[in-house]
A and B are shown apart, each in its own frame.
Chain A
């Protein structure tokens, strides 16, 4: 398996704070990779670095072997990388359908003047976009909510709309930032199935998640971060037994004794 995405000694500082430091890991094509770590470990920052929201202070990010360090977000998206956000970012004044259709943006071929003049080619394309959007809505069981205002839906459904918005663009890699946050047990169980289904359709997944049930069950490979540094990586079993990981999450035993 070749590395789809690779980080090489990537680091970023905010003021004096070293948020991510000398971080290297790679995501192999077709895998589900979980990125975990205690609060403030820098997980979301890593996502922002990959997607071009932040520019790393040092290090390199490689996509299928070529450098993508410092590309602006829309260029990163054009490579086939899509993401969701920890705090859901749906378009507030749009329906579920419109939100998901937004994910088609990069595939749209019409020129602005074709749209403004409503030429036949543009109208045909509009119909295609609608069809693609509805297909994804059906796949994620969102069809009945297509005309609802997206932000008026319950939390779990909003997360699913955000996921649908990434999938409709037929990405190669989907980056999910805490997809299980705020979900109940049944919902997070269903999420597991969805994530596995995403991989089954040939899409690589990188996710940050606090819900260990989700991470341990779906991840092929887990990367553990603490204070912006990599402290361990491996499969679920290896991570579960790793002393550095246990220490990072639970604190050291002598510390607890002292407290």
Chain B
């Protein structure tokens, strides 16, 4: 079996198609009504979150089933700094990213020596604790079960991003940037290091890979990107409450990566579309919607255990 040579025409073609689709996406507000533009905006936000989960789960091979925590930290940091301290939204963004990344690294440091399922269980536990802490109005600034409301409209270079279309463009540009970063991740030593560890940790460490450092960094990077998505989410809803970050949200993010295809950008985007956008079309069948959803999860896994659009083996 021969692997396609490095930087083949195929790789460029896929990137060109991706870029084209993204550019076409910018025109969505012209063809959709405002409620569907909101769906598209939230798709972009969830896609960033799912891609960030993919850094940890798909690329790092670490079973993180508490990813909603980092998403939530980003959203809460923005909401708290904005509503309680009056910071402009964009000023909160770096702190949202850094806070989420720091928590990711701090939680990961002791946890990464846990293997597979034990890590999964521990992250479920952290998710539960996070939600309870937010509900119990930790330090009196998280707003309890109702959360925080009344976030400001983000202002970019003096231009308020007031309309749903403007917010969509913000999210869409962020998604585009994250997609480029994910592509670059495939082409650098950090991304490769994660693949070495995932495919054979012992061999990797005897080549000098510091497993703990690389895994902690993967957690920090994945969590930081989720923090970015959290800020966008808080802006989109202009409210933040614990229910958006419960354990089932983490399960959905986990499933998106596996159903779509681990380590595959198009796969994760497809997974996000299926698990998030498609159910929007079936809102009137609310009762049967999640029943069908569960059935689809089983069906996809049984028929395509490697995911719908798996990562191709290729030189990068």
Residues of A within 8 A of B (CB): 51, 53, 72-74, 76-78, 82-83, 85, 89-95, 97-98, 101-103, 105-106, 108, 110, 112, 114-118, 122, 126, 130, 147-149, 152, 165, 169
Task: Collect the chain A residues with CB atoms within 8 Å of residue B184's CB.
Answer: 115-118
Interface pair A73/B205, CB less than 8 Å apart: yes
Task: Collect the chain A residues with CB atoms within 8 Å of residue B196's CB.
Answer: 91, 102, 105
Q: Out of B5, B202, B315, which one reaches A89, CB within 8 Å? A: B202
Task: Collect the chain A residues with CB atoms within 8 Å of residue B6's CB.
Answer: 97, 130
Interface pair B188/A115, CB less than 8 Å apart: yes
Interface pair B190/A115, CB less than 8 Å apart: yes
Q: Given A92-B199, A147-B3, A149-B2, are A82 and B207 also a contact pair (CB < 8 Å)?
A: yes
Shortest CB-to-CB span from B267 to chain A, Å, is 15
Give the residues from 78 to 123 in chain B that come closer than 8 angstroms, CB to CB, to chain A. Answer: none
Give the residues from 1 to 54 in chain B that come closer than 8 angstroms, CB to CB, to chain A. Answer: 1-6
Count of chain B residues with a beta carbon within 8 Å of a chain A beta carbon: 34
Interface pair B315/A97, CB less than 8 Å apart: yes
Which residue of chain B has the shortest Cβ distance to A150 in the bound complex? Answer: B3
Interface pair B4/A116, CB less than 8 Å apart: no
Which residue of chain A has the shortest Cβ distance to B263 in the bound complex? Answer: A93
Shortest CB-to-CB span from A5 to chain B, Å, is 15
Interface pair A78/B205, CB less than 8 Å apart: no
Q: Out of A89, A97, A110, A149, which one reaches B313, CB within 8 Å? A: A149
Q: Given A95-B315, A115-B187, A148-B1, are A53 and B206 also a contact pair (CB < 8 Å)?
A: yes
Task: Collect the chain A residues with CB atoms within 8 Å of residue B200's CB.
Answer: 89-92
Interface pair A77/B2, CB less than 8 Å apart: no
Interface pair B1/A149, CB less than 8 Å apart: yes
Interface pair B207/A90, CB less than 8 Å apart: no
Q: Given A85-B203, A110-B188, are A74 and B210 also a contact pair (CB < 8 Å)?
A: yes
What 1/0 mask marks residues of chain B from 201 to 244 whose CB sits below 8 Å from any chain A CB? Answer: 01111111111000001000100000000000000000000000
Interface pair A147/B190, CB less than 8 Å apart: no
Interface pair B203/A118, CB less than 8 Å apart: no
Q: Of B191, B192, B206, B221, which is in contact with the most chain A CB atoms at under 10 Å from its CB?
A: B206
Interface residue? B195 (CB, 8 A) = yes
Task: Collect the chain B residues with CB atoms within 8 Å of residue A90's CB.
Answer: 200, 203
Interface residue? B181 (CB, 8 A) = yes
